[in-house]
Amino acid sequence: MGLIDSLKKAFRKPYTTVSVAQAKELLGSGAVLIDVRSAQEWRTGRAPQARHVPLDRLQTSTAGINKNKPVIAVCASGVRSASAARILAAEGYDAYSVRGGMAAWRQAGEPVR
């Protein structure tokens, strides 16, 4: 393996960033959606199937998340969900982050409750 390949591998994201449509496909196949926003943000509206696991509690709260299912993280814009997906991937989860977060979710016309 050459230096370039080694560097690409070293800096590769351990998770996958997905669109809202791709996230919906994954959910249809049994994936779990976790919303990593704050409690205040959670109360402003969330995807109906989302579980609330704030980012600051994620490392202590992963015990309840099934490792045999893909896990999709969502936040307001996609920054915190990327951090969550990185944490989940390091814990052995098949992890995804929703590109654009709940802003993209709403813009795609997906339900929010």
What whole-number distance in Å separates Cα of residue 6 and Cα of residue 2? 6
Out of 47, 75, 98, 104, the active site residue is 75
53 is catalytic: no
Among all residues, which ones are annotated catalytic? 75
